[in-house]
Amino acid sequence: MGIAGELVQGITIMADYTREDPDSKIDETEMAEVIAHVKQQAFADAATDIAEDIGIPVAALQELNSKINATYIDGVKVDNPLGFTGSEVTYRVFSTFAPSLHVNSLKEIAASLGLEVLSIEVQPYAIARAIKGARSKEFSAVIIDVGGGTTDVAVVDQGGIVGTKMFAFGGRVFSRRIQKDLDLELHDAEQMKIEYADGKLTKDKEIQIRKALKKDINIWAEGVELSLEELDDLDKYPTQFYLCGGGSALPEVRQVLLEHPWLQVLPFRKYPKTSMLFPNQLVDIEDQTGRIIDPSDVTPLALARMILELV
């Protein structure tokens, strides 16, 4: 199951250690011990910081999962440390937390449907893991999933996930703006927004929609900026933005990212490029129907793919 929202947080914890027997091969037991050690040493402080950020008691916060998403052995990055030997090892452990209330609600929904919960995954994390080549040291990107209620942001630096942030501003905000400015029912405004994104409206209607969206689009871009600012474990931010999710279909979303003064507000090496993320850019996904072609399909596909990391 996937989970997202402004109260869901993901952090990266670095674990450095010297192996007692550098000639022995790393196995699953050793990796599990590393994660257990990280939890013991760093989780209390991390949970306290996250609870303060989102305004809930620490006791109301629950760890979803913790995974090693990057490994360096004697200074060299490896995709999978199993079977490797070496002395100095650095693990980048990505841990995700969410309010217990949200987690328990998902479990109750699954139980009511007679389903077993194998894992609850943070959606932007699942997307970042699914992109082809995303674990390579050459891959760095900001992934932005514009959903209905929230926008989810993940930052990947040199093949490792730095962190995830979400903020409560998604496609429904634009729908409500259209509803208000054009005096429509909400479902009619939603349909008109979709038709606008598909280029199916008359010129007059296009102008009206464009005028309405202009009132909120810069606020959305500032939300992306603040999310990146909070992920401050980087000296420089990646210069590639990937957009997905249903809300990303609006041309204003891509345009405002192209026009935002990134070089003035955050430490980018150069002005970031913005591209759409399509299903054919995901690893381990084979579409035999030929119909899964839209950026709005990326998140469910990425979540479905996570089962491969559990077996």
Query: How does pLDDT run across 272-292, given as a tens digit for each residue?
Result: 999 999 999 999 999 999 999
Is residue 66 a contact partner of residue 34, using CB atoms and an 8 Å limit?
A: no
Q: Is it the case that residue 42 has pLDDT exceeding 80?
A: no
Q: What is the mean pLDDT of the chain?
A: 92
Give the per-residue pLDDT at 44: 79
Give the per-residue pLDDT at 114: 96
Give the per-residue pLDDT at 276: 98
Return the CATH superfamily for domain 123-311: ATPase, nucleotide binding domain (3.30.420.40)
Q: What is the arithmetic mean of pLDDT over 49-77?
A: 88
Beta bridge partners of 39: none
Give the per-residue pLDDT at 40: 79
CA distance 241 to 261: 14
Q: Is it the case that residue 41 has pLDDT exceeding 80?
A: no
Compute the 3-state secondary structure of the chain and give helix, strand, coil in percent, each to the nearest 5.
45, 25, 30
- The CATH class of the 11-117 domain is alpha beta
Task: Determine if the pTM surpasses 0.85.
Answer: yes
Tokens of 212: 């309405």
Element (H, E) at 112: helix 100-112
Q: Where are the domains of the chain?
A: 11-117, 123-311
Residues 79-91 have pLDDT tens digits of 789 999 999 999 8
CA distance 262 to 268: 7
Confidence category of residue 38, pLDDT binned at 50, 70, 90: confident
